[in-house]
Amino acid sequence: MLGARVRLRNYFKRYERVAFIVLLLLTMGTGTFGIYCVLGSWSNGAKWVATSGSLATVAGMVQLEVSGLFKNILEHYGDEDKYPYGPPSYVSQEIIDNPEEPFLTGLRNICYFNVGTGFWLIVLGTIVQIIAVWL
């Protein structure tokens, strides 16, 4: 089948927001427990803090996928013959939010559409891992 277009399904797409929230909660939980262990002079405190940093890095990568960074890169450098329809419009994604709930809308925009959030989660995760190494 020469010339046939194959569209691969992204099964992660359906659950990526849930995965991001779970990773973010795990990051905060392990970070809080790690700080508690360090303050209590427990021997495994640094491991929990390092785990929190690693989870923050993974959460940052997932958030970059949720916000569409990788899709934008593929769109910019992709072949138009392979991807004739392109990604969905950001305008239509933002219209879905409810303007009567400004706090939740702002929180969703930060979590799901702002590529800076993922970047700073990766930076935070790396810094936390460096601190954990030296504890």
Structural domain for 128, as ranges: 13-133
40 assigned to some structural domain: yes
pTM over 0.75: no
The winner for highest mean pLDDT among 23-27, 62-66, 111-115 is 23-27
2 assigned to some structural domain: no
Interatomic CA distance for residues 17 and 70, integer angstroms: 15
- The mean predicted confidence, pLDDT, of the chain is 75
98: helix, strand or coil: coil
The winner for highest mean pLDDT among 13-22, 73-82, 117-126 is 13-22
Question: pLDDT tens digit string along 36-84?
Answer: 999 999 988 988 998 898 889 888 888 888 887 767 766 665 556 654 5
Interatomic CA distance for residues 11 and 80, integer angstroms: 23
38 assigned to some structural domain: yes
5 assigned to some structural domain: no
How many domains does the structure of the chain reveal? 1
6 assigned to some structural domain: no
pLDDT band at 87 (very low <50, low <70, confident <90, very high): very low
The winner for highest mean pLDDT among 11-20, 27-36, 73-82 is 27-36
pLDDT band at 4 (very low <50, low <70, confident <90, very high): very low
- For residues 8-43, one letter each, b for 16 or more C-beta atoms within 10 angstroms of the residue's C-beta and e for the rest, the string is eeeeeeeebeebbeebbebbeebbebbeebbeeeee
Q: Residue type for 70, please?
A: F
pLDDT at 63: 86
pLDDT at 36: 96
